Chain A
Amino acid sequence: MTNFLKKYRFLMLRRLSQIGILVLYFSANAYGFKVLTGTLSSSLLFGVIPLSDPFAVMQMFAAGAILGADVLVGALIVLLFYASIGGRAFCSWVCPINMITDLANWLRRVLLLDKTEKKVWLGRSVRYKVIVLALILSAFTSVAAFEIVSPISMLHRGIVFGMGMGGAAVLSIFLFDLFAVKNGWCGHICPLGGFYSVASRLSIIRVKHNQPNCTLCMKCKDVCPEKHILSLIGKESGDVTSGECTNCGRCIEVCDDDALSFGIRNYINKNG
């Protein structure tokens, strides 16, 4: 049992975080338990601290909106937190879509789909093009372009305010990730993930690799949703510095050889 807890410690913490955040938002609307009101797009913590989605704010600027101070402060707080400390943790610790795509990914492994299916090609840089496209289209259509189609807000708002036909969008992502492209949504297309990848390049919480302990079992690469970032495995000790790392910690849990851990990024001594 203790072994099980150890093997899934980050996964359980992440689910706790993801579901806990949903419960807080939900109960603020349903029961008036106002710790976290609003939705992931913009909310108020403890009735005082504004929190807003910086990518949504960027699109709104592109659409030509003149915005209130609350939403700007909120976006700045969120941006600074992920950019300096959390890294791309939004994707694996907050975003509700992560639970859907993780389920698809788990089924992929169980059903051995990676070994048997026909491969569909999709580049990992598509998300950055989607960001640019979202900003251009926001300017053209005078409305935040990704926000009006975002399955993340559809699912999150759906849980807080009622789902409507939003389930279809969520199911589409599940099917896409399961049968079309591995990590297709979160790792290839989602512009919000792309935004945080760019924004959090310099953040300090990082996965660290201790090369001498590594036995090259490659379990870490099997579970990693962005496995190209683990290029240093078995080659050199150091930090996983890519902004595309979501700090999900799956690689750390599956490693039986104590070769991976969370730590503070080493900025001072590059060779240390």
Chain B
Amino acid sequence: MSNLDSKKPVITQRRRFLSVMAQSVGLSALGGMVWTGYIEEAKSAPLILRPPGAKPEIDFLRMCIKCGQCAEACPFDTLLMAKPGDKKPMGTPYFIPRDVPCYMCTDIPCVPVCPTGALDEESVSSVVEGEKVLDINRSKMGLAVVDEESCIAYWGIQCDACHRACPLMDEAIVLEYKRNDRTGKHAFLIPKVISEACTGCGLCERACVTEKAAIFVLPIEIAQGKVGGYYIKGWDSKDEKRLEDVSTDVATQTKRSELAPQDYLNSDEVLFDD
């Protein structure tokens, strides 16, 4: 009898404690992983356009408390609060320029009301006569991009709707004149976006006459490429100066760079490899 009893597992206090702990930790990890998966999916909306003065997206998502005071302050109802189903980070403000662009209020009502600083007043201010004043033209909500194939100005049809709609006409969008070889007697009046001046307000996208806008605003980091350090504009004396700082040391040591080039090319490894 006592033999049978001894085969029954004994549930000690310690065993109970350990298994309860393991259960808590395990279930928390399970919940945490599901939750993290959702968050990572939910916060990735690379094509979203933020209000003026918004911090870079990563910091913006950290700092935005999703209160909607910016959207409330917007007199044009440009700013929307992302709803479930919008496939945007929930509760954060954004705008769709083709529907309602940013009308570039000079007093920028949406920015100073932000309680957390996710919309940064500093980034949309400039100093005039020693005084800090709001300057909506400094905002960088995005960058307008032209699809040359669907822009009718590139076909040779005269259209400067975007150019005229631009609040920084001839600064952010300029018209480039080119000879139209097809007719031989007309000119192309082609819209070009100057990235340094463009605020990304989207008034051009709103004004575009094509069925789906041929000029549209994208977040700057999506719209722009990056050259990197390898190329230098030799004709630009300022850029050329960068050469002075270039060191001649080879930074990376690989198997190839250990030997002089002819030594490497004559080595067994290269000559007799298959």
A residues contacting B by CB (< 8 A) are 28-29, 37-39, 41-44, 50, 52-53, 56-57, 60, 63-68, 70-71, 74, 129-130, 132-133, 136-137, 140-145, 147-149, 153-154, 157-158, 160-166, 168-169
Contacts and interface: CB of A to CB of B under 8 A. Distances in A.
B80 to A, nearest CB: 8
B65 A141 contact: no
Interface residues of B, number: 37
Contact of A68 (B32, B84, B117): B117
Interface stretch (B38-46, B184-192, B219-227): B38-46
Interface of B: 24, 28, 31-32, 35-36, 38-40, 42-43, 58-59, 61-63, 65-69, 71-72, 80-81, 83-86, 89-91, 113-117
Nearest to B27: A129
Pairs of residues from A and B, 3 with the lowest C-beta to C-beta distance, nearest first = A164-B83, A165-B85, A42-B67
B84 A161 contact: no
Contact of A71 (B42, B61, B65): B65
Contact of B83 (A65, A133, A149, A158): A158
A70 B65 CA distance: 12
A137 B32 contact: yes
Nearest to B114: A68
17 contacts: A28-B72, A37-B113, A38-B67, A38-B115, A44-B69, A52-B65, A63-B62, A67-B117, A68-B117, A133-B28, A133-B32, A133-B35, A137-B39, A147-B66, A148-B42, A157-B66, A164-B86
Nearest to B82: A164
Given A41-B66, A68-B115, 10 more contacts: A37-B72, A38-B69, A42-B69, A43-B67, A44-B115, A65-B63, A67-B117, A148-B43, A157-B81, A157-B91
A129 B24 CA distance: 9
Most buried by B among A68, A74, A164: A68
Contact of A39 (B58, B66, B85, B89): B66
The residue among A50, A157, A160, A165 with the most chain B CB atoms within 10 A of its own CB is A157
A145 B35 contact: yes
Contacts of A136: 32
Nearest to A57: B65
A126 to B, nearest CB: 9
Which among B24, B39, B42, B85 has the highest number of chain A CB atoms within 10 Å? B39
A27 to B, nearest CB: 11
B36 A42 contact: no
Nearest to A148: B90
B52 to A, nearest CB: 16
Given A52-B115, A165-B84, A60 B36 contact: no
A143 B39 contact: yes
A42 B38 CA distance: 24
Nearest to B55: A65
B43 A143 contact: yes
Q: Which of B43, B69, B117 has the most CB of A within 10 A?
A: B69
Nearest to A169: B84
B271 to A, nearest CB: 52
Contacts of B89: 143, 148
A165 B116 CA distance: 27
A47 to B, nearest CB: 10
A20 to B, nearest CB: 19
Contacts of A148: 39, 42-43, 89-91
Contacts of A28: 72
A168 B86 CA distance: 14
B68 A38 contact: yes
B196 to A, nearest CB: 28
A60 B43 contact: no
A157 B91 CA distance: 8
Given A133-B35, A168-B84, A39 B68 contact: yes
Contact of A166 (B28, B72, B84, B114): B84
